């Protein structure tokens, strides 16, 4: 092949730059879809990898019937995993339709944050304890501590969220929140643990903004307008909670009181497409009620206690 002239080389180089610019523009314009596709591919690959590993274990069963049963179970588990991957992909695509294609990369400037969380729908005054009860008699105690944790330069209020079932701890979580000067309350991560018989068995779901690609989200906007959709957290494959403002001025009744001015949100996550909730927030109080849209189960605010 003959060598290129200087002119031809310049044109080729310029064309390459132009193509790269177009590719970069396309990647930016379709960041959400690209994220969805990559996550779906990874999910399906994991389903196949888990299936192959299990088949390897099945091969070491000495009995033919035992091997067959093992293989059948592995096949069913792979199908279930593949179906979940497809459901997650569909859910993420709906999120892309609502939020657009731009990369999710919020600009966090520590100087833009304030010390106190005073958003009327999500006030977090240190020394306040919220107690919730669900219909299965599970108790959730949310304590706004006097502690703070610095995350990507922002001093976050530490809130402890503990779930008790039959008097035993089932889940214990530390959540990290901060409010910007505009009044938005941001969620910067959580450290969570699940317990069985008093022993920790899993820390799945833990994430901290700034680590492993995790980014903060908004737990409550300064101006919650109807139809507004927003990410509450983001760590692909681990933490992808989304919320949408549905109604204002909703009447709700819980053990703590009856209110006519509640803000209703729709909360969901592509990671568990079947899980859908409505949450109700009251000005000056905070979260008062959570309803599972599938089962109808309610988690209601029972009391609020404040210490000096």
CATH code assigned at 224? 2.40.360
> What pLDDT shows up at residue 14?
39
b/e 31-52 (16+ beta carbons within 10 angstroms → b) = bbebbbeebbeebbeebeeebe
Q: Looking at the structure, do residues 58 and 185 belong to the same domain, yes or no?
A: no
Mean pLDDT of 76-99: 97
> What pLDDT shows up at residue 308?
62
> What pLDDT shows up at residue 197?
87
Q: Looking at the structure, do residues 286 and 170 belong to the same domain, yes or no?
A: yes
Domain end position, chosen among 55, 72, 99:
99
Write out pLDDT tens, residues 172-218: 999 999 999 999 999 999 999 999 988 999 998 899 999 999 999 99
> What pLDDT shows up at residue 198?
87
Domain end position, chosen among 50, 66, 99:
99
DSSP secondary structure letters along 19-36: HHHHHHHHHHHTHHHHHH
Q: Looking at the structure, do residues 116 and 240 belong to the same domain, yes or no?
A: yes
| CA distance linking residue 69 with residue 52, whole number of Å | 15
Q: Looking at the structure, do residues 119 and 31 belong to the same domain, yes or no?
A: no
Evaluate whether residue 1 is within a structural domain.
Answer: no
- Looking at 61-198, list the stretches that DSSP marks H as alpha helix, in order from N- to C-terminal side: 64-99
Contact between 225 and 246 under an 8 Å Cβ cutoff? The reply is: no
> What pLDDT shows up at residue 27?
44
Count, residues in the chain: 308
Q: To the nearest whole number, what is the mean pLDDT of the chain?
A: 91
| CA distance linking residue 95 with residue 187, whole number of Å | 19
> What pLDDT shows up at residue 29?
53
Q: Looking at the structure, do residues 143 and 270 belong to the same domain, yes or no?
A: yes
Evaluate whether residue 293 is within a structural domain.
Answer: yes
Q: Looking at the structure, do residues 234 and 187 belong to the same domain, yes or no?
A: yes
> What pLDDT shows up at residue 101?
96
Q: Looking at the structure, do residues 68 and 114 belong to the same domain, yes or no?
A: no
pLDDT at 307 over 90: no
Backbone angles phi, psi at 89, to 5 degrees: -65, -45
Treating both helix axes as pointing N-terminal to C-terminal, what angle do 6-29 and 31-58 enclose, rounded to 10 degrees? 80
pLDDT at 22 over 80: no
Evaluate whether residue 292 is within a structural domain.
Answer: yes
Mean pLDDT of 4-12: 41
> What pLDDT shows up at residue 264?
98
Q: 287: exposed, middle or buried (C-beta count within 10 Å: 0-12, 13-18, 19+)?
A: buried
Write out pLDDT tens, residues 238-282: 999 999 999 999 999 999 999 999 999 999 999 999 999 999 999
Treating both helix axes as pointing N-terminal to C-terminal, what angle do 64-99 and 31-58 enclose, rounded to 10 degrees? 170
> What pLDDT shows up at residue 136?
85
Evaluate whether residue 163 is within a structural domain.
Answer: yes
Q: Looking at the structure, do residues 64 and 155 belong to the same domain, yes or no?
A: no
* Structural domain range at position 53: 8-99
Q: Looking at the structure, do residues 83 and 126 belong to the same domain, yes or no?
A: no
Q: Looking at the structure, do residues 75 and 94 belong to the same domain, yes or no?
A: yes
Indicate the number of domains in the chain.
2
Residues 6+ apart with CB under 8 A from 289: 252, 254, 262, 279, 280, 298, 299, 300, 301
Task: State pTM to two decimals.
Answer: 0.86
Confidence of residue 137 (pLDDT cuts 50, 70, 90): confident
Confidence of residue 2 (pLDDT cuts 50, 70, 90): very low
> What pLDDT shows up at residue 284?
96
Q: Looking at the structure, do residues 208 and 231 belong to the same domain, yes or no?
A: yes
Give the CA radius of gyration of the chain.
Answer: 24
Q: Looking at the structure, do residues 64 and 90 belong to the same domain, yes or no?
A: yes
pLDDT at 24 over 60: no
């Amino acid at each position: 092949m003959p060598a290129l002239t200087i002119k031809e080389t310049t044109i080729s180089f310029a064309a390459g730059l132009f193509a790269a610019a177009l590719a970069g523009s396309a990647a930016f314009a379709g960041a959400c879809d690209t994220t969805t596709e990559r996550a779906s591919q990874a999910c399906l690959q994991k389903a196949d990898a888990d299936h192959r590993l299990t088949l390897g274990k099945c091969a070491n069963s000495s009995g033919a019937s035992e091997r067959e049963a093992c293989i059948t179970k592995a096949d069913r588990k792979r199908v279930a995993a593949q179906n979940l991957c497809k459901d997650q992909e569909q859910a993420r695509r709906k999120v892309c339709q609502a939020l657009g294609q731009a990369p999710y990369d919020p600009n966090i400037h520590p100087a833009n944050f304030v010390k106190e969380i005073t958003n009327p729908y999500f006030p977090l005054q240190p020394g306040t304890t919220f107690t919730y009860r669900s219909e299965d008699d599970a108790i959730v105690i949310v304590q706004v501590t006097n502690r703070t944790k610095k995350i990507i330069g922002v001093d976050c209020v530490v809130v402890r969220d503990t779930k008790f079932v039959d008097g035993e701890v089932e889940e214990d979580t530390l959540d990290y929140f901060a409010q910007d000067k505009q009044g938005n309350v941001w969620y910067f991560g959580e450290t969570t643990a699940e317990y069985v018989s008093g022993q920790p068995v899993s820390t799945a779901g833990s994430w901290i903004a700034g680590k492993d690609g995790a980014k903060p989200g908004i737990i409550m906007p300064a101006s919650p307008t109807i139809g507004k959709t927003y990410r509450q957290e983001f760590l692909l494959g681990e933490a992808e909670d989304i919320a949408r403002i549905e109604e204002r001025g909703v009447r709700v009744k819980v053990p703590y009181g009856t209110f006519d001015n509640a803000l209703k949100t729709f909360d969901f996550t592509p990671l568990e497409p079947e899980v859908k909730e409505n949450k109700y927030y009251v000005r000056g109080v905070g979260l008062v009620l959570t309803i599972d849209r599938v089962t109808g189960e309610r988690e209601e605010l029972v009391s609020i206690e404040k210490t000096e």
